[in-house]
Amino acid sequence: MKNKTHPLTTLHHVPLFASCSKKDLKRIVDVGDEVSFKPGDRLVEQGQPGREAFIILKGMARVERSGRRLANLGAGAMVGELALLDNGPRTASVICDTEVDVLVINQRNFHKILRDVPTLAQKILATLAGRVRELDKALYA
């Protein structure tokens, strides 16, 4: 039998969810679907519309933009939330390097969570602001 990590255990250690109560974390888990991917599978494809966000529970994936590796991701990383916020196209591809288990949250449930858990909305905004600052520094420093 495959050894699976319970999503609540992973979410509890994700910095993005650090200010959430156990009750709020359970809400997030309850609206998500656990899905497994194989090495080489793509969680998201650059340029495609975003319809869900993914929280990596187990495994490793890489972020690529225009074929260039930008980052490596492991348990606790969240991808896809940007496209869910603005309905824009995916800014990068995320490709599984190993078997990857994720918690998938669709757009409707994602927005419900943001309404129900205001501290999470604040954390996501802070995370996105940090990404903008990193990009600004990389481009203009």
**What average pLDDT is seen over the chain?**
87
Given the structure tokens 């529970």, which residue do they identify?
57
Q: What would the mean pLDDT of 42-46 be, rounded to a whole number?
A: 96
Q: What is the pTM of this model?
A: 0.83
Four-CA torsion 2, 107, 73, 102, nearest 10 degrees: 0
Instruction: Select the more confidently predicted residue: 22 or 16.
Output: 22
Radius of gyration, CA atoms only, the chain: 15
Quote the DSSP letter at residue 3: -
Please tell me the CATH code under which domain 7-135 is placed.
2.60.120.10
For 53-83, write each residue's pLDDT tens digit: 999 999 999 999 999 999 999 999 989 888 7
Residue 101 is predicted with a pLDDT of 96
Residue 1: pLDDT band with limits 50, 70, 90? very low
